[in-house]
Chain A
Amino acid sequence: GESVGLHLPTLSVQEGDNSIINCAYSNSASDYFIWYKQESGKGPQFIIDIRSNMDKRQGQRVTVLLNKTVKHLSLQIAATQPGDSAVYFCAETPGSSNTGKLIFGQGTTLQVKP
Chain B
Amino acid sequence: GAGVSQSPSNKVTEKGKDVELRCDPISGHTALYWYRQSLGQGLEFLIYFQGNSAPDKSGLPSDRFSAERTGGSVSTLTIQRTQQEDSAVYLCASSGSSKNIQYFGAGTRLSVL
Footprint of B on A, CB under 8 Å?
4, 32, 34, 41-46, 49, 89, 91, 93, 97-107
Partner of B43, one of A42, A45, A102: A102
Task: Find chain A residues with CB under 8 A from B101 CB.
Answer: 46, 49
CB distance from A113 to the nearest CB of B (A): 22
Footprint of A on B, CB under 8 Å?
4, 31, 33, 35, 40-45, 48, 50, 55-56, 58-59, 91, 93, 95, 99-107
Contact A97 B100 (CB under 8 A): no
Contact B99 A100 (CB under 8 A): yes
Contact B106 A89 (CB under 8 A): no
Beyond A43-B105, A99-B55, A101-B48, whether A49 also contacts B100 by CB under 8 A is: yes
> Which secondary structure dominates chain A's binding surface?
loop
Cα distance A4–B44 when bound, in Å? Answer: 12
Cα distance A99–B106 when bound, in Å? Answer: 22
Task: Find chain A residues with CB under 8 A from B40 CB.
Answer: 107
Contact B56 A99 (CB under 8 A): yes
CB distance from A39 to the nearest CB of B (A): 10
> 7 interchain pairs (CB within 8 A)?
A32-B100, A43-B91, A43-B106, A45-B104, A89-B43, A99-B50, A99-B56
